[in-house]
Amino acid sequence: MIPTAVASCGDDNPDCQFDDGAWGYNYLKESSAAMAFLRDDGYLPHKPYSCCRNLRYCSRGRAQAVQAIKREELPFYANVLDHIPSFGYSSWLGSFISSFKYVGNAVQILQEGRAKYKETPFKVPTLNRWIVIIDRRHLEDIKKSTEDELSLIEAANETAKVDHLIGREISSNPYHVSVARIHLTRNIGLYYPDLKDEVHTAFEELLDLKDNAWKSVPAMDTMREIVCRASNRVFVGLPLCRDPDWIDLNSRFAVDVATDANILNMFPKFLVPFVSKILPNTAAGIERARKHLDPIIKERLRCMKEHGDEWSNKPNDILQWLIDEKQESTTKQLTLRVLTINFASIHSTSNTFTQALYNLAAYPQYVGPLREEVDTIIREHGWTKEAIAMMCKVDSFLAETQRLENVLSASVQRKAMKDLTLSDGTFIPKGTYLSVPTYLMHRDSTVYENPGCFDPFRFSKLRVDGNESGRHQMVAVNQDYFPFGYGKHACPGRFLAATELKTMLAYILTMYDVKFEDKVSRPASIHWDLNVIADPTVRVMFRKRVDS
């Protein structure tokens, strides 16, 4: 982050490249916090000198350094982003106040900012950084950019503090992403019977319905456990996917990482490595997971050593695919990869399905058409991957749920790794964070008719009426619909997630009736910062299906 090139102090130094060294030092002195940061890290002397030859870094270099500090460590300094309009206060104290408003009212601020600035990028302050909100037309810039220009990995790493909480190798060598992208998609037909079996078994065991009596369950907790079991049937296989402690730790891990990351985001960067070592939640989850996976990994490595790359009854799951890559071989390394994949999938998938369940209970008039589709297809094709792919109305129901209740109100986040200019001429300095207001784009009246209304068959009707049927599937990624992200970094596991979600919804439609325990209308989502969360307090009632 700190530039190392020697510049100048404006004296007679023959190495001088600039003639405004005094400006550099005075500029640096504007921020005592930045001075302290640089001094503590050894980048500044504890007293000023008159000549840059006596300094570790020259005055111009220090001026560039403080700009980096203002971008990275002191988010409420807006100097390097002064050319981009702010929504809310832009002063240090004012932006700090505005950041708290953003945490509780992100959607409202995004709406008001878009109304004021239209398609022009604008910035909003969060608790630890400025975020530049860009428009739909900038999605092409993101699509065309390389990782060393606009980085999703670095944006996610900074937000979730992955390097410090999980491990630096996760972001420095994210080979698990390509494993998921290639194998999860290519092998759906092979692992679908296991996935289906786990969905069906999990529902039966967790609901445990008797006769035709209604039973009330906590919706979010129950759906999260089913998602965790079904996903881990693909990630680590039987019997671990059904182990109560494994399910509990993976259900909690995303929350633990988010909690610890929020704490770390309150500290300056130079303190983060030290504070992260005393945070207990994430580290405890990693150790629990390591104990579960250690005997499994050792047995698989033994089989590979004894039989080579192929052997009888070789597992077909993500853990084995990671081992087959031969990039890592220790229990600790492979445990971190499996936990990272769980972290990236369990929370978003379970939240999405809970939102869909609320829609099913809130709009019973759509159960009939959905059941008719599912019953017809299952009767003819059985529970197969091909049958699930034919369920256009089920797909549309889930796609519409994602459109209105996506897990993030602003997504497609990127960090600028170098200075660059967007296609509309907007200059983006290195270190700037960009995001697209998904909540607004998915409610754009120029794209969607009655955009605020839940129309479960909106996308299936478009697939019938239009020629671009693939564009209107829930796994689609385009400028009008991007709950799974956009560009080359669109979620690599979205095909597994879609298949899992559709199987779960189809099974409920086939086997159960649902209703809210004590609510008449659909419960509102909880908005916290950029997160959109299904109300975790809601209880939903199930009974065995009764045909009228």
Contact, 73 vs 269, CB < 8 A?
yes
Determine the 3-state secondary structure of 72 from DSSP. helix
pLDDT bin (cut points 50, 70, 90) of residue 92 is low
pLDDT bin (cut points 50, 70, 90) of residue 465 is low
* pLDDT at residue 17 tops 70: no
CA dihedral 267, 270, 272, 278 (to 10 degrees): -110
Please state, in angstroms and rounded to a whole number, the distance separating the CA atoms of residues 289 and 250.
8
Segment 454-478 shows an average pLDDT of 85
* Claim to verify: residue 172 and residue 67 sit in the same structural domain: no
* Claim to verify: residue 69 and residue 212 sit in the same structural domain: no
What is the predicted pLDDT for the residue at 463?
Answer: 83
What is the predicted pLDDT for the residue at 371?
Answer: 98
| Angle, helices 244-264/152-160, rounded to nearest 10 degrees | 90
Residue 111 lies in a domain: no
Contact, 324 vs 179, CB < 8 A?
no
* Claim to verify: residue 38 and residue 177 sit in the same structural domain: no
Residue 82 lies in a domain: no
Contact, 545 vs 512, CB < 8 A?
yes
What is the predicted pLDDT for the residue at 71?
Answer: 46
> Max CA-CA distance within the chain?
94
* Claim to verify: residue 204 and residue 306 sit in the same structural domain: yes
Segment 69-78 shows an average pLDDT of 44
Segment 304-329 shows an average pLDDT of 93
Please state, in angstroms and rounded to a whole number, the distance separating the CA atoms of residues 371 and 357.
14
Residue 158 lies in a domain: no
Residue 160 lies in a domain: no
Segment 423-427 shows an average pLDDT of 94
* Claim to verify: residue 349 and residue 218 sit in the same structural domain: yes
Tens digit of each residue's pLDDT (9 = 90 or more) over 339-374: 999 998 999 999 999 999 999 999 999 999 999 999
From 29, 53, 74, give the residue that closes a domain. 74
First to last CA, the chain: 67
Average pLDDT of the chain, as a whole number: 85
Q: Is the Cα dihedral 280, 219, 545, 502 positive or negative?
A: negative
453: Cβ–Cβ under 8 A, 6 or more apart, which residues? none
What is the predicted pLDDT for the residue at 91?
Answer: 67
pLDDT bin (cut points 50, 70, 90) of residue 103 is confident
* pLDDT at residue 22 tops 60: no
Please state, in angstroms and rounded to a whole number, the distance separating the CA atoms of residues 71 and 157.
16
pTM: 0.84
Determine the 3-state secondary structure of 237 from DSSP. coil
What is the predicted pLDDT for the residue at 90?
Answer: 67
- Across 276-321, where does the E strand assignment appear? none
What is the predicted pLDDT for the residue at 44?
Answer: 38
Segment 469-485 shows an average pLDDT of 90
Segment 310-316 shows an average pLDDT of 91
Distance set, CA 141 to CA 42, 110, 454 (Å) = 38, 21, 31
- Across 120-218, where does the E strand assignment appear? 122-125, 130-133, 150-151, 215-218
* Claim to verify: residue 69 and residue 214 sit in the same structural domain: no
* Claim to verify: residue 62 and residue 193 sit in the same structural domain: no
Q: Report how many domains make up the chain.
A: 2
For residues 238 and 254, the model is more confident at 238
Segment 240-255 shows an average pLDDT of 94
For residues 88 and 178, the model is more confident at 178
What is the predicted pLDDT for the residue at 538?
Answer: 96
pLDDT bin (cut points 50, 70, 90) of residue 500 is very high
Beta strands 215-218; 526-528: pairing state: unpaired
Please state, in angstroms and rounded to a whole number, the distance separating the CA atoms of residues 356 and 505.
8
* Claim to verify: residue 190 and residue 320 sit in the same structural domain: yes
Residue 518 lies in a domain: yes
Segment 53-69 shows an average pLDDT of 43
Residue 265 lies in a domain: yes
* pLDDT at residue 198 tops 60: yes
pLDDT bin (cut points 50, 70, 90) of residue 159 is confident
Q: What are the two backbone dihedrals, phi and then psi, of residue 480, each rounded to the nearest 5 degrees?
A: -100, -15
Determine the 3-state secondary structure of 125 from DSSP. strand
List the structure tokens of 184: 């999860």
465: Cβ–Cβ under 8 A, 6 or more apart, which residues? none
Distance set, CA 511 to CA 204, 205, 378, 504 (Å) = 10, 13, 12, 11
From 74, 105, 128, give the residue that closes a domain. 74
pLDDT bin (cut points 50, 70, 90) of residue 38 is very low
Whichever domain contains 366, its CATH number is 1.10.630.10
Q: How many alpha carbons fall within 13 Å on the CB side of residue 387? A: 18
pLDDT bin (cut points 50, 70, 90) of residue 25 is very low
What is the predicted pLDDT for the residue at 265?
Answer: 79
Tokens 């099913």 correspond to 360
Segment 457-475 shows an average pLDDT of 82
From 50, 74, 98, give the residue that closes a domain. 74
pLDDT bin (cut points 50, 70, 90) of residue 453 is very high
Residue 290 lies in a domain: yes
The residue among 342, 395, 352 whose CA lies nearest residue 223 is: 352
Determine the 3-state secondary structure of 217 from DSSP. strand
Residue 412 lies in a domain: no
Tens digit of each residue's pLDDT (9 = 90 or more) over 365-414: 999 999 999 999 999 999 999 999 999 999 999 999 999 999 999 999 99
pLDDT bin (cut points 50, 70, 90) of residue 79 is low
* pLDDT at residue 33 tops 60: no
Contact, 265 vs 259, CB < 8 A?
no
Provide the residue range defining the domain that includes 529.
Answer: 166-407+443-480+483-544
Q: What are the two backbone dihedrals, phi and then psi, of residue 540, each rounded to the nearest 5 degrees?
A: -120, 145
Contact, 13 vs 23, CB < 8 A?
no
Contact, 184 vs 318, CB < 8 A?
yes
Tens digit of each residue's pLDDT (9 = 90 or more) over 213-234: 999 999 999 999 999 999 999 9
Q: Binding-site residues, please?
A: 491
Segment 298-324 shows an average pLDDT of 94
Q: What are the two backbone dihedrals, phi and then psi, of residue 154, each rounded to the nearest 5 degrees?
A: -70, -35
For residues 22 and 312, the model is more confident at 312
* Claim to verify: residue 366 and residue 261 sit in the same structural domain: yes
* Claim to verify: residue 312 and residue 452 sit in the same structural domain: yes
Please state, in angstroms and rounded to a whole number, the distance separating the CA atoms of residues 459 and 397.
8
Q: Which of 34-43, 154-163, 173-182, 249-258 has the lowest mean pLDDT?
A: 34-43
Q: Binding-site residues for heme, please?
A: 491
* Claim to verify: residue 60 and residue 171 sit in the same structural domain: no
